[in-house]
Structure 1
Amino acid sequence: MAEVRQLRPQEEQEYRLAPHNVEAEQALLGAILVNNEAFYRVSDFLEGEHFYEPIHREIYEVCGKIIRAGKTATPITAKTFLPDELVVDVTMSHYLARLAAEATTVLNAFDYGRSIYDLAIRRSLILVGEEMVETAYSADVDSTPEKQIEDAEKHLFDLAERGRYDGGFQGFNAALRDAIEMAGEAYHRDGSLSGTATGLTDLDRLMGGLQRSDLIILAARPAMGKTSLATNIAFNVARAYKAEPTPDGHMKTVNGGCVGFFSLEMSAEQLATRILAEQAEISSSDIRRGNIHESQFSKLVDTSNLMSQVPLFIDDTGGLNIAQLMARARRLKRQKGLDLLIIDYLQLLSGSSKRSDNRVQELTEITTGLKALAKELEVPIIALSQLSRQVENRDDKRPQLADLRESGSIEQDADVVLFVYRDEYYLKNKEPKEGSPEHLQWQGEMDLVHGRADVIIGKQRHGPTGTIQLSFEAQFTRFSNLAKSDYLPERME
């Protein structure tokens, strides 16, 4: 008699079945066949593909089609659309009748549905893991490890976002509770702002700070200083960061915040130089050329030591698409925390598909994705944008919503649209001949607008529009508050 060989633990592992629960599937299907209300309790997150047994997938999908058509799904109505024989000596009619006879109550339907869904996600995770291993073993020359990591992250995040069962309607009392909690936080926060303070007093006054889940578009023509304003806000928020532990061991931001900065145009070193120049009050061009004396160098070192403590994270990878950006933002939120995200700038992002023959459609995908990301992560997102050249053809160069470049989706998806405008830039290029009467008039106008910038709120969903005047020191690339005595007279339209 042949000896029966025992399987070693490793061999047992190779024969493991994927996680599943046939009994839970049978109980849920039975509940649906007895009371179609059970289907509505799970249909917003549970799909046929989540069932382990192929015949259970088929039964669930057939029941769903019958119920959505306004009819009643029972063992009798469902069997018409299913194969007659299940296995030898078991007909579909008998099997459906048995499911109905052993059904759970409709009250348990959600719990069974969630169990089936969770097991399906675990099976998908196994597939993603196996694919990662296979790709790592047999990668070709063009497939870098970084690309494999990004692909794996995309699969994981797609898995996390597809068919979540924690959404749906909430009672108005829950929404009211959140609104009162936000008002309470604003009451106790410095400056009584409902959002994150930018450090620019008049901008905060009109906007109430940067609101969670808002997509804020910051647009301007080149050389207006939009990147400088973004870096100023980023550093102000990061410098003011304070957090306190919650009862569950997490850290809750109580002031300022952790900032993520996607710099698609400039390198991290160039951004750091700008912020260093602003804080140390030394010209950024002098820092780059090394044109500084010993006391300035000491100031640079002291300033950089202080700056190194702030939670400001820069990603200067060029050529990112919207899917990669979203994956990296989620990763930063998970690993370091995230309270503000800045993207410099919108037109350098690409869509997730490789086809880019329709730029308007691609930009619509990008802005829609950024708005969804802001809501998902519950952080404000500031996306910088260029304006079209038609601004230069007008006598009045002040930007308008119609000047947003390439797509109406930017204006449509944005909660707030800010424009940066400096009269000084345009007036400087119109200098008349020195010594002429026109030159004296020009000089007087230049004195009025020198070192000043306007931030125009062109759109705001939950607040007023208007114009804020700021001080701008070009050599330090710094925006700051104006003293009240320095304000220009109100502009007459």
Structure 2
Amino acid sequence: MSNQQSLPLAVPAAPPQPRVAPHNLEAEQALLGAILFDNETYNRINSSLQEKHFYDPVHGRIFSACADLITAGQLADGVTLKERFSRDGGIKEIGGAVYLLKLMEAAAPLSAHAQSYADLIYDLALRRELIRVGNVISDLAESPPDDHDANDIIEEAERTLFGLAESGTTSRGFQDFKTAITKSIEVAAAAKNRGSDVSGISSGFRELDHKLGGFHGSDLIILAGRPSMGKTALALNMAMNAALAKLKGDQTKDESHAGGVVGFFSLEMSAEQLATRLLSDYTSIESHRLRQGRIEKHEFMQINDAAQMLHTLPLHVDETGGISIAQLHNRARRLKRTAGLDLIVVDYLQLVTTNSRKNDGRVQEVSAVTQGLKTLAKDLNVPVLALSQLSRQVESRDDKRPQLSDLRESGSIEQDADVVMFVYREEYYLSRTEPEPNSDKHIEWRRKMDAAMNKAELILGKNRHGPIDTVDLTFEGKFTRFSSAATQRQR
């Protein structure tokens, strides 16, 4: 007999148990029973709960039927639902009208806990959706489409997750017209309560706000102009005005100030350059002296006081150059969740890139960017103010006031925009055509220069919500500051 010990036999591993999505049928039954027992329970639970959030589709259909009856002012109980579900195979399979009666009897003493059940059902639905999204992301990472790299997948994952966190679902779907009408009335009421005709975010320019009613959620506003017209300065003035109004409203608890939190995407200038412009505007110290450090002692106190105030402004700057439209979407969503967001400024849209590997041409790429900005405005329900360059054909005309056809790579800019504004300063062009001194032409030129000095026009080339017109502004170049003109053009 051998002394060698025999090896133990290998025990086969138990087969892995199938994973079951998070759910709680007892909570679903308890909530439905509580609603059937006391219809008022429905009005006390989370309004975000919908049919799709129930794990058992039969429970979802019961909940939907109860919602329809209760919102219509009718009774929802076992009797009223019996006929509705008489031909529903799912209900028949689990007991038909008898099942509805059991739900009512079992849940009668549990009505006080209905909100807890609703919250649990909603939370479990989000967890199931999160698992689904995770599986989709995992599949994309293992087998990415030909035109997607790892960064594209990360951006898509972030976009989807922020969408889920924002609304509890990756699909918004239809809404009834009653909801849209209610929102419309709320907009009008907001303007009335403020005692003005501004129902959106104020630009800080009285006549422009009068014509637009402010910048409204879901609107794409294009601010276009040739180089040196002051597009960035004007957009920064508007951003600062909105942020200052928000700050003042928060400090005084006065909701009449039509301001908001601003996200400023500066693809051309650094955050430090923008800050210098803001300091110059606020202190009335020339920006070139600020950059060069040629500041008097008494001006240091002005700058210090301004800095103390400006650092509390709800104005956030992203200076990433060449940012993609997907990255812009994700960062805007993140800002809205962490600090709030009421207005987005993009300087400027021709510098925003797309993730497409296709070489479809510049017009198609800019079209994709403008469509993406319009989608962002609708998804976050905030106005997006995007700056745009104009083509050189403006320079070839005697009257250099811009028009819609001058929009550079204008494939869909005009189509997607709700408002298109052009900033125009005749002074800029006149200053470059000075005739010979002491000549008759010079006298006429000087007369025109005096009339155009420090003046600007903001031309409304498209306004989906109101009139097309021109707003007169004052421009102080040494402070890079626009302001409302003392008197407006009479038409």
Matching residue of 2:406: 403
What's the % identity of the aligned pairs? Answer: 46
1:371 alignment counterpart: 374
The change in CA–CA distance for 1:166 and 1:348 in structure 2 (over 3 A counts) is closer
User: Are positions 1:362 and 2:353 aligned together?
Assistant: no
Secondary structure at 2:174 match in 1? coil
* Residue 169 (str. 1) matches residue 172 (str. 2): no
Q: Is the 8 A contact 1:218 1:418 kept in 2?
A: yes
1:219–1:404 contact (8 Å) kept in structure 2: yes
Listed one character per residue, the Cα deviations across residues 182-202 of structure 1 (whole Å, up to 9, x for unaligned) are 111111225341111111111
5+ residue gaps, structure 1, are 25-44, 53-96, 135-141, 246-250
- Change in Cα spacing, 1:310 to 1:382, as seen in structure 2 (3 Å) is same
Q: Deviations over 1:320-354 (max 9, x none)?
A: 11111011101100100001000000000112323
Q: Residues 309, 148 of structure 1: CA spacing in aligned structure 2 closer, same or farther, 3 A cutoff? A: farther
Structure 2 gap ranges (5+): 1-7, 27-50, 57-87, 101-117, 143-148
Matched residue, 1:178:
183
**Shift of residue 444 of structure 1?**
0.8
| Aligned twin of 1:426 | 429
For structure 1, which segment, 236-245 or 272-281, has the greater mean C-alpha deviation from structure 2 after superposition?
Answer: 236-245
Equivalent of 1:215 in 203, 214, 220: 220
> Which residue pairs with 2:21 in the alignment?
19
Alignment partner of 1:258 is 2:264 = no
Residue 173 of structure 2 aligns to which amino acid in structure 1?
A: G
Q: 1:196 to 1:441 in 2, by over 3 A?
A: same
What TM-score comes out, normalization by structure 1 length?
0.71
Residue identity matched to 1:207: L
Contact 1:153 1:327 in 2 (8 A): yes
Count of residues in correspondence between the two structures: 396
Between the aligned partners of 1:313 and 1:119, the Cα distance in structure 2 is 32
Cα distance in 1 for partners of 2:123, 2:309 equals: 50
1:435 and 2:409 equivalent?
no
The DSSP-based 3-state class of the residue aligned with 1:255 is coil
Whether 2:239 is the aligned partner of 1:234: answer yes
1:63 is aligned to none
Q: What is the rounded CA distance, in whole Å, between the counterparts of 1:133 and 1:480 in structure 2?
A: 51
Q: CA RMSD in A?
A: 4.1
How many Å apart are 1:176 and its aligned residue? 2.4
Alignment counterpart, residue 93 of structure 2, candidates 83, 102, 106? 102
Are positions 1:123 and 2:131 aligned together?
A: yes
Q: Distance in 1 between matches of 2:290 and 2:393?
A: 36
- The Cα of 1:100 is off from its aligned counterpart by 8.9
> For 1:330, what is the secondary structure of its paired residue?
helix
Helix, strand or coil at the partner of 2:471: strand
Amino acid at match of 1:17: R
1:31-52 deviation line (CA, Å, top 9, x unaligned) = xxxxxxxxxxxxxx98xxxx99
Distance 2:185 2:358 in 1: 46
Residue of structure 1 in register with 2:210 after alignment? 205
Q: Provide the TM-score with structure 2 as the length reference.
A: 0.71
How far does residue 295 in structure 1 lie from its aligned partner after superposition? 1.3
2: CA distance between counterparts of 1:252 and 1:190? 11
Evaluate the alpha carbon distance shift between residue 319 and residue 270 of structure 1 in structure 2; reply closer, same or farther with a 3 A threshold: same
Does structure 2 conserve the Cα–Cα contact (< 8 Å) formed by 1:448 and 1:488?
Answer: no
What letter corresponds to residue 219 of structure 2 in structure 1? D
Which amino acid in 1 is paired with 2:485? L
Question: Is the counterpart of residue 463 in structure 1 residue 469 in structure 2?
Answer: no
Letter in 2 for 1:386: Q
Give deviations 1:54-80, integer Å, cap 9, x for gaps: xxxxxxxxxxxxxxxxxxxxxxxxxxx
* 1:171 to partner: Cα distance: 3.1
Q: CA deviation at 1:388?
A: 0.7
Indicate if the aligned counterparts of 1:260 and 1:314 stay in contact, CA closer than 8 A.
yes
Alignment of 1:373-388 (within 5 A): 373-388=376-391
